[in-house]
Amino acid sequence: MNHLTIQEQSIIRQIRAQTDKKNIDNISRTDAYFSYFKQNPDIVWSFLAHMVSRNGGYNMCDLEGTAFRELLAPQLRKQLFLTYERANWLIFHDVFPQLLLYQYSTKLNRPLFHLLPFFHVSSFIQQEWYRYWREKDRNRLTTALIINEQNVIQTPVIDHPVYRNKVFRSLIFNFQDWLHFSVVLFPTCGGEVYGASVNGFRFLSKRINLGKRLASILFHPRLFPYFFEFAEKTVHTGSRLDYEQYFKVRTDGETPFLRMAFPVISHHQHEHKDWSKQRVVSPVWLHLPAKHKHPIHLTDWYMEKSDQLQLVLALKKVFHLRPWQ
């Protein structure tokens, strides 16, 4: 830090303080991404992060909803919550300093990306920010940020022995993977739902491909205004009611508000490893455009899945089955 100017040292301190302040829980992170996007509309990834983070909150709150409280044992629900929360926290911890540093760069009208190493971000994404400053290729930056964040969570979450054994190899995770309950949804105020599902969540390339597909849906010229209107009008609470309030027909499931259901978790990151020094960036990740094998309009699909969940619940009661451990 000694070789930095006083202004640069101050910027680093402010970014660290701001990141810590916003990285409290899923609600604060989700809101921070959207506020940032409204101030920096050229960084479209931040709106994608906002909408995906909303889904993270919904997934957390589902665990304390009527259906999953019946289906899953308390310890498994706790473990699933901690998995979502850890991934959510790690991504924000990594990316928000990048976003703020770009914002400072635009204000001062000079790139400050030489400060990125102070935030332990990958050398891959450092180069991509320099490239964006020169070329202003939004699609390239969005894809690069998707690649970076999915790599950031691969080792500490997906491959971590505890999460791997207790969550990603659990019967319920593979069950919902198979049924495509693991889906990212983009609602509208007109009661429609768009999105894409991921099966094979453990596999890095599949999550990157999902991210690219989601970006192509979210920023589709015809659809984007509807998603933005939803984000602008709808306070993020984590409850499914956030978007079911717009449905013409209500589902049977009820989920609580996130801040009423879960405590604030204290996270720590003991080591900082540059994933791009250990893994090669596949040209497919960067250059292969997103392709949709399935319909992106998911309103009927969503209702069907809600019915399937109620059916599973009914079968459990009929056969007196114990919750999944």
What CA–CA distances, in Å, run from 15 to 18, 21, 118?
5, 10, 11
Q: What pLDDT, on the 0 to 100 scale, is given for residue 177?
A: 53
Q: Mark the ranges of the chain whose per-residue pLDDT is less than 50.
A: 178-179
The CA dihedral of 83, 85, 89, 95, to the nearest 10 degrees, is 80
Chain mean position to CA 167: 18
Q: What pLDDT, on the 0 to 100 scale, is given for residue 309?
A: 79
Q: What 3-state class would DSSP assign to 251?
A: coil
pLDDT over 90 percentage in the chain:
70
Q: What pLDDT, on the 0 to 100 scale, is given for residue 72?
A: 84
Q: What pLDDT, on the 0 to 100 scale, is given for residue 174?
A: 63
Q: Where are the domains of the chain?
A: 6-318
Residues 6 or more apart in contact with residue 111 via CB below 8 angstroms: 105, 129, 130, 133
Q: What pLDDT, on the 0 to 100 scale, is given for residue 211?
A: 96
**b or e along 150-174 (b: 16 or more beta carbons within 10 Å of the residue's beta carbon)?**
bbbbbebbbebeebeebbbebebbe
Length of the chain: 325
pLDDT tens per residue, range 249-270 = 877 678 999 999 999 999 988 7
pTM of the model: 0.94
Which residue from 48, 42, 215, 221 is spatially nearest to 136, judged by alpha carbons? 42
User: Taking the CA atoms of the chain, what radius of gyration do you get in angstroms?
Assistant: 20
